[in-house]
């Protein structure tokens, strides 16, 4: 499916947040997806992932997650200096501010003429995976995909300790979580802890494990695994197809 692309500007509190929106070209009503990037914001690799999903019939809205700290449009380079900069931005951002940003994008999607307001999902990578997990606390979210989400058991997300693991019982969304078993940022004990908490809370979920490293779905990095990424995408698309429906 062909897509159209644009940027929109949303004001959250006193900050201007640019949001990249990719949506299907054919007229119709489509599910809306809150897309949350890793610490490098919206560089080529993340934009390609957003575009890819939009082509399957979703309106994908991707905010710049560090808009309070960085200039509009800034892309952080995925190198050593960029990693330091992105992690510093993450540590300086209040958890409540992340949540407010997610709420603002979901409200934007609900008002979009091409979005079925009852069909909202989330997708996130790395820190964005954690943010997508938290977005599932919102009642509008029906389907959530978290790709190698970092810091959920430990509460590591932003300034202060995130209460994510304590709030799992609030989730009503269907959950799909993608892990790499070679990922040092999410060791086996963290994966097991998160799985156990989801099970104990009765949250409907599916866990996918790939013999891959962290950020294995980024096609511009040395840890990219095309076979694992392709398999993960197949599962993600099938998952959304099961729980979110378009009306064309």
Is residue 126 part of the annotated active site? The answer reads yes
Q: What is the mean pLDDT of residues 74-88?
A: 96
Of 102, 126, 146, 147, the catalytic one is: 126
pLDDT by residue (tens digit) across 100-115?
999 999 999 999 999 9
Q: If we measure between CA atoms, which residue out of 93, 82, 81 comes closest to residue 43?
A: 82
101 is catalytic: no
For residue 246, the model assigns a pLDDT of 61
Place of tokens 């949250």: 203
Q: How much is the pLDDT for 247?
A: 58
The one catalytic residue in 38, 101, 183, 225 is 183
Q: What is the pLDDT of residues 121-158, one digit of tens each?
A: 999 999 999 999 999 999 999 999 999 999 999 999 99
**Domains by residue range for the chain, with CATH:** 3-243 (3.40.50.1820)
Which positions ≥6 away from 56 have C-beta within 8 Å?
1, 237, 240, 241
183 labelled catalytic = yes
The residue from 67, 130, 205, 214 that is catalytic is 214
Distance CA 218, CA 226 (A): 9
Query: pLDDT (tens digit, 9 = 90+) per residue, 26-69?
Result: 999 999 999 999 999 999 999 999 999 999 999 999 999 999 99
């Amino acid at each position: 499916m062909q897509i159209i692309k644009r940027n929109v500007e949303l004001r959250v509190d006193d900050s201007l947040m640019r949001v990249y929106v990719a949506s299907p070209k054919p007229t119709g009503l489509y599910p809306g997806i809150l897309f949350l990037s890793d610490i490098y914001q919206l560089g080529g690799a993340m934009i390609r992932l957003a575009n890819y999903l939009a082509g399957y019939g979703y309106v994908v809205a991707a905010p710049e997650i560090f808009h309070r700290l960085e200039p509009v449009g800034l892309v952080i380079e995925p190198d050593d200096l960029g990693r330091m900069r992105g992690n510093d931005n993450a540590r300086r951002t209040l958890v409540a501010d992340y949540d407010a940003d997610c709420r603002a994008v979901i409200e934007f999607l609900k008002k979009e003429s091409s979005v079925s307001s009852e069909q909202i999902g989330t997708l996130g990578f790395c820190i964005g995976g954690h943010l997508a997990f938290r977005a599932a606390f919102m009642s509008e979210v029906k389907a959530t995909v978290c790709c190698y989400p970092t810091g959920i058991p430990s509460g590591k997300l932003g300034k202060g300790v995130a209460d994510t693991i304590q709030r799992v019982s609030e989730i009503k969304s269907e959950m799909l979580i993608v892990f790499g078993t070679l990922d040092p940022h999410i060791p086996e004990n963290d994966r097991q802890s998160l799985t156990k908490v989801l099970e104990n809370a009765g949250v409907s979920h599916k866990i996918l494990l790939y013999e891959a490293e962290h950020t294995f779905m980024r096609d511009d990095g040395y840890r990219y695994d095309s076979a694992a990424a392709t398999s993960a995408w197949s599962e993600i698309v099938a998952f959304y197809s099961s729980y979110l429906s378009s009306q064309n």
